[in-house]
Amino acid sequence: MADIHFDVKLSGIWQMTSTVIRYGSSCLVVDPGYFPRELADLAGLVPKGARVEALLFTHSHWDHVVGHGIFPAVPVYTSSVLACSVAEGGELAVNGMAKAREFDSQWYVERPWGYTWPQDLRGLDDGGWFNVGDLDIEAFLIPGHAPDCMAIRAENHLLVGDYLSPCEIPFVDNLSDYRRTLKRLLTLIAPAVDTVIPGHGPALSAADACRIAREDLRYLDGIARCAERNDTAAALKLSLPRSADVAGMRDHHAENCRKAGLVTASASGG
């Protein structure tokens, strides 16, 4: 049996993680990002004699997908939700690349391969499996941060995309889905996972990942209770689970409240 290796590279923007999973001579690259020089360094993590057999996107947000061109002509796995959106020219697909182009234009980032989705995009359903070489990988659909979010388990590692970040609070697309996903992640981690790799920030022990999941669940439960009472003022005063001193986190909290149906000052133009 081959040894498995996980190399996690943090981007200079938002500590976004890109992960190279190597099993024998076969490699899977998860969320290749972000800046072209960082992507060249990421490609350099693939040792001589090994080859990248596939990529994987945990979700459609632009920072996680736009770097795929550094690894041309390989299949790309993603959730069936995103694969369907790309095939149909749906909102997730259109927004993902449009926002990447907008960010790069603002910061003068030159991306020679452009802003298109991979041609060989393979959708996975919940509980689906795929192989990279002899390594079996299981996929789990985990909506909440985005409709198309997906986690994967490779041996004793769980890669969760934009959940359980030690750097930021939850960024919510759908509050009910996000709360369900956190509960599910706790059950996925419990039996046999030693390491959790979030989409932003360093890899976590199982214990630290579970602690963050519980903190985030308490935080989102608090928003849900305020939404039931239609109490916007109380919701906006809730304590953040972490990163309260990071610029913009209070704005993200207000957006989370808005996604729960509460009318915040920013949402009403005040």
pLDDT in tens, 133-181: 999 999 999 999 999 999 999 999 999 999 999 999 999 999 999 999 9
pLDDT at 62: 96
Average predicted confidence (pLDDT) for the chain: 95
Question: Quick check: 55 and 30 in contact, CB under 8 A?
Answer: yes
Q: How many angstroms separate the CA atoms of 144 and 163, rounded?
A: 9
Q: How many angstroms separate the CA atoms of 245 and 201, rounded?
A: 16
Q: How many CB atoms lie within 10 A of CB 10?
A: 16
Q: Residue 19's closest CA among 36, 4, 32?
A: 32
Listed in sequence order, the DSSP H helices in the chain are 36-44, 62-65, 80-88, 91-106, 175-192, 206-229, 232-236, 249-259
Q: Residue 117's closest CA among 131, 136, 96?
A: 96
| Tens-digit pLDDT profile for residues 247-258 | 999 999 999 999
> What percentage of the chain reaches a pLDDT higher than 70?
97
| Tens-digit pLDDT profile for residues 21-52 | 999 999 999 999 999 999 999 999 999 999 99
Which amino acid, 262? Answer: L
Structural Rg of the chain based on CA atoms: 18
pLDDT at 268: 34
| Tens-digit pLDDT profile for residues 229-268 | 999 999 999 999 999 999 999 999 999 999 999 987 653 3
pLDDT at 191: 82
Domains of the chain, start order = 1-155 (3.60.15.10), 162-192+205-270 (no CATH)
Q: Is the pLDDT of residue 270 over 90?
A: no
pLDDT at 83: 98
